[in-house]
Amino acid sequence: MPVSKKLSFSRICNKYYITLKELKEYQNTIRDNEYCAQLEQTWVSKYLQPIIDMMGSSTTWKLFPEIIVNGLPDSKTTRITRSNNNKKFANYDGKHWTGQYKGELFNSFDICQLQDTSQFCQTYTLMWLTGNLPEYTDNNDEEGCEEQSLDKYYFYTRKALDFIEKVILPKYDPNHHNIDKYWDCIKELQAHSNMCLNVVDLPKGI
């Protein structure tokens, strides 16, 4: 595979798109091209999916014993009642992660993730529960713009990657069988952070 083609593909896929319309057009172009679609899937499988799987694993969540996790195969479901209202909960329904603390509910779709997409919901939930989810300041709100800007989602994607690099991976056992792979993945994702959003499948109705 020619290096020039790989570099060209990397630049296109890591582009910053302003609106959902632009992102949809990009995805249609990439996925209508068998060569580019294969490159994209290979990149996702090699770099993005391992990190998503890691962040949703019991190994990662056990690094935070103060959080009660419901929904993982090896976790015991704990009912949320008034008596444990001050405890932190992470809830996984098989598709999506949400959080709850002191009666407040967190759903990444409401704040930092495109509705009904599969990306870093587990990471955003953990960031929120540990007080590491930053507030986004909209500096790109142009009057009269009818389309939703993607700037917020690129911002939170970068913050999720930084959180994994600075908070999660240093907590991992340095002898973990996948630790070198995880470090390699996170470096690649940080170098192409926009791509971590651009490759996410968009729901038909979005």
Decide if 83 is inside a domain. Answer: yes
> Which residues form the domain of 31?
3-132+145-198
Count of domains in the chain?
A: 1
Kindly report the number of other CB atoms within 10 A of residue 184's CB atom: 13
pLDDT at 153: 97
Decide if 184 is inside a domain. Answer: yes
Decide if 163 is inside a domain. Answer: yes
Between the alpha carbon of residue 106 and those of residues 89, 121, 130, the distances in Å are 10, 10, 12
Kindly report the number of other CB atoms within 10 A of residue 199's CB atom: 18
Query: Which tens digits make up the pLDDT trace of 51-68?
Result: 999 999 999 999 999 999
pLDDT value at 92 more than 70: yes
pLDDT at 57: 97
Distance separating alpha carbons of residues 110 and 128, to the nearest angstrom: 13
Query: Which tens digits make up the pLDDT trace of 110-148?
Result: 999 999 999 999 999 999 999 999 999 986 555 444 456
Decide if 82 is inside a domain. Answer: yes
What is the distance of C-alpha 27 from the center of its chain?
Answer: 18
Token reading at 113: 């993730």
Q: What is the mean pLDDT of residues 77-82?
A: 75
Query: Which tens digits make up the pLDDT trace of 151-197?
Result: 999 999 999 999 999 999 999 999 999 999 999 999 999 999 999 99
Q: What are phi and psi of 97, to 5 degrees?
A: -105, 140
Decide if 67 is inside a domain. Answer: yes
Decide if 125 is inside a domain. Answer: yes
Give the contacts of 163 (CB within 8 A, at least 6 positions apart): 123, 126, 127, 132
Between the alpha carbon of residue 14 and those of residues 17, 98, 201, the distances in Å are 9, 28, 15
Decide if 205 is inside a domain. Answer: no
pLDDT at 1: 43
pLDDT at 4: 52
